[in-house]
């Protein structure tokens, strides 16, 4: 993960990306128990999102640093990493408001727990629902924080359905 943090710094210095933040399971681990995951997901903002050659610029820089493609991911140190453009207002918000954390001496941006939960709400797979429950159980986020953020991103209905299914009062 340290190698990934260093690669992300290099990408920003080379202006290949403008911003980034780790999300998904690796980000969740910051707030909960360690969980099983096979890869690392990174939100990225690229200088010209409409340009088609941006993914290749990302891959070229990875290759220059000795990282090889592994399916849809790029192997960085121990982790296959997926670089996901922040394509929605929720994703952009999550990336811009991410926290910078010291990771073994290297700064690494990581999405906040409330954004992780609401991204999970927007995706809605079983593992996303489990993530929301884990984040709530760990105390990293409250139900009202999720409700507020979900409302800002038009996900109040999805949150109500989640609450109806997983409320503590039932």
> Least distance in Å: CB of 55 to other proteins?
25
139 and 133 in contact (C-beta within 8 Å)? no
Of 82 and 92, the one with the shorter C-beta distance to other proteins is 82
Tokens representing 163 are 């609450």
Interface ranges with other proteins (CB under 8 A): 1-2, 25-26, 29-30, 32-38, 78-79, 101, 103-104, 110, 138
Of 104 and 168, the one with the shorter C-beta distance to other proteins is 104
> Least distance in Å: CB of 21 to other proteins?
14
> Least distance in Å: CB of 136 to other proteins?
13
Tokens representing 44 are 């990225």
Of 43 and 110, the one with the shorter C-beta distance to other proteins is 110
Give the count of beta carbons closer than 10 Å to the beta carbon of residue 52. 7
Separation of alpha carbons 34 and 27, rounded Å: 10
Sign, Cα dihedral of 100, 40, 42, 74: positive
> Least distance in Å: CB of 45 to other proteins?
23
Of 22 and 54, the one with the shorter C-beta distance to other proteins is 22
Q: If residue 116 lies in a helix (H) or strand (E), which one and from where to where? A: helix 113-123
């Amino acid at each position: 993960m340290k190698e990934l943090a260093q690669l992300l710094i290099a990408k920003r210095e080379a202006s290949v990306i403008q911003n980034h933040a780790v999300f998904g399971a690796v980000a969740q681990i910051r707030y909960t128990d360690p969980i099983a995951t096979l890869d690392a997901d990174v939100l990225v903002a690229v200088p010209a999102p409409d340009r088609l050659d941006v993914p290749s610029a990302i891959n070229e820089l990875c290759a220059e640093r000795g990282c090889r493609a592994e399916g849809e991911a790029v192997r960085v140190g121990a982790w296959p990493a997926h670089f996901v453009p922040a394509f929605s207002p929720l994703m952009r918000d999550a990336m811009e408001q991410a926290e910078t954390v010291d990771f073994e001496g290297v700064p690494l941006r990581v999405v906040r727990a409330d954004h992780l939960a609401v991204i999970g709400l927007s995706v809605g797979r079983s593992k996303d629902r489990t993530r929301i429950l884990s984040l709530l159980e760990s105390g990293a986020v409250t139900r009202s924080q999720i409700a507020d953020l979900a409302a800002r991103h038009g996900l109040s209905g999805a949150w109500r359905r989640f609450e109806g299914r997983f409320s503590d009062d039932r």
